């Protein structure tokens, strides 16, 4: 079903939410953003992407832009564009805080003096 964080946010969902946090994107734009940000480490294949997007829309985390006025001018009507919702932004913020806390714990445990003496 996919890797999950401690709070149940799927890894792919986190990256999709992050890709949509600053702008609306179509599916291929989401995939490119994730690949670029992860240095090619995380690939989201089309079947998985659209399954995730549909599930995330069911959860109210995203919405699909169906009105022409919401879409970028000149873009093909065939491309599906998505926008993060307030609920999606809230979940992304919560998960970001949780991950930040884990990083802080890890940094405190990896004090340079301790590493140098081992």
Of 61, 68, 67, nearest in space to 83 by CA = 61
Q: Is residue 28 part of a domain?
A: yes
Residue 5 has pLDDT above 60, yes or no: no
* Euclidean distance between CA atoms 16 and 53, whole angstroms: 8
Mean pLDDT rounded to a whole number for the chain? 86
Q: Is residue 113 part of a domain?
A: yes
Number of domains present in the structure of the chain: 1
Position 78 scores a pLDDT of 79
φ, ψ (nearest 5 deg) of residue 85: -95, 175
Of 62, 76, 72, nearest in space to 14 by CA = 62
Q: Is residue 1 part of a domain?
A: no
Q: Is residue 3 part of a domain?
A: no
| CB atoms closer than 10 angstroms to residue 59 | 13
Residue 63 has pLDDT above 80, yes or no: yes
φ, ψ (nearest 5 deg) of residue 21: -65, -30
Q: Is residue 6 part of a domain?
A: no
């Amino acid at each position: 079903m996919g890797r999950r964080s401690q709070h149940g946010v799927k890894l792919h969902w986190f990256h999709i939410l992050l890709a949509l946090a600053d702008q609306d994107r179509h599916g291929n734009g989401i995939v490119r953003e994730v690949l670029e940000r992860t240095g090619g480490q995380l690939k989201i294949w089309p079947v998985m992407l659209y399954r995730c997007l549909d599930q995330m829309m069911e959860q109210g985390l995203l919405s699909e832009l169906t009105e022409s006025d919401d879409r970028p001018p000149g873009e093909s009507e065939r491309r599906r564009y998505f926008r993060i919702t307030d609920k999606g932004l809230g979940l992304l913020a919560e998960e970001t805080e949780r991950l930040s806390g884990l990083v802080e714990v890890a940094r405190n445990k990896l004090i340079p003096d301790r590493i140098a003496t081992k």
